[in-house]
Structure 1
Amino acid sequence: MLIDVTAAALSSFSKEVMSVPMSNGRIASHTNEGRNKMRSIRPLSVGIAAVLGVSLLAIAPAASASGAGVQAAACATLYATAGFQGGSRSFSANDGNFDGNVWSNGRSMNDDTNAVKNRCGHTVTLWEDSGYYGDRHVMRANGEDSDLGNNGFSNRASSLSGF
């Protein structure tokens, strides 16, 4: 995509620059005067294209940071033990199946969540079954629950959505 943008910018620039008026008022074409003017402009076009390309390369990583494929900062953290204790794991994207996931202490986390902190600016939902099915526990934006047992959801989470 970066090359396409640079090529398109150069092509557009070249069309404008290459239409050089000659001393007789006509547009430069295949005459010697036109060729000489074109030769003097060509290095300028290449230089501008090089600067444009470098500028776009510098901008591209910053622009892509907000795009797909780059993970946002983790804002939902689940805990193995009530009171935000034991192992923890943070999320920045949906996870449809906790099978195979482990807590920071190495233990399996499927059906083992007992507390949650939601620092996201939106709701996050814990699901009893993988694939976002079954009973659910919805965490409000910027909320926390230090004991999911108080809500009847202790050791039941198998998936998470809301991202």
Structure 2
Amino acid sequence: MRLSTRVAGAIAAAALFTLVAPVPTATASPRSTCYGGRVCLYAGFDYNRGQTDHWRDFVQDDTDLSDDNWLAWDYSNSWHSMNNETSSVRNRIGCPITLWQHAYFTGAHSTFLHDSNDGFLANNAVGNNRTSSIDIWCR
């Protein structure tokens, strides 16, 4: 009798967990959202729409993107370097940010104000696939 009470309790707990636990979905993608307080960089134009979904978000400066890898759609490491690979940006950090062509904030650059998006960096001074550092001005 005691065993069946434990089994019944375990089944009830599992059923309750199933009802209240969020279920992750394979279709959820960070490319459609850049949460407040972050700057999101994307490897593809138009925030990776229709392309390989490599992205990364930042909350502080990064002087050299060559030691950073893109994240995949499921937040796993893509093992693909971010250096000179950014094609679009969303700025939700609350202050201006600057994308720089070379590491340590040198070379051509483009500044983006808070709440600005640019899905086509090819039309900016920093250009497409040329970003090597990011300067976030919140201080």
CA displacement at 1:151 relative to structure 2:
2.0
**Do 1:74 and 1:90's aligned partners in 2 also have CA atoms closer than 8 Å?**
no
The answer for the alignment partner of 2:108 in structure 1 is 135
Quick check: 1:77 aligned with 2:40? Answer: yes
Structure 2 segments unaligned to the other structure (5+ residues): 1-35, 73-77
User: Structure 1 length normalisation: TM-score?
Assistant: 0.53
1:28-54 deviations in Å (ceiling 9; x for gaps)? xxxxxxxxxxxxxxxxxxxxxxxxxxx
Q: How many residues align?
A: 91
Alignment partners' CA distance in 1, 2:69 and 2:105: 19
- Structure-1 residue corresponding to 2:64: 97
Structure 1: segments with no counterpart, 5+ residues: 1-72
Q: Deviations over 1:93-142 (max 9, x none)?
A: 00000012111131111000000000121100000000011110101111
Select the structure with the greater relative contact order (CA < 8 A; seq sep ≥ 6).
2
Look up the match of 1:155: 129
| Higher helix residue share | 1
Q: Per the alignment, in what secondary structure is the counterpart of residue 95 of structure 1?
A: coil
- The question of whether the paired residues in 2 share the 8 Å contact of 1:77 and 1:90 is answered with yes
Q: In 2, distance between residues paired with 1:131 and 1:151?
A: 19
TM-score (norm 2): 0.62
Report which of the two has the higher share of strand: 2
Amino-acid identity (%): 30
Larger Rg belongs to: 1
Q: Secondary structure at the match of 2:122?
A: helix
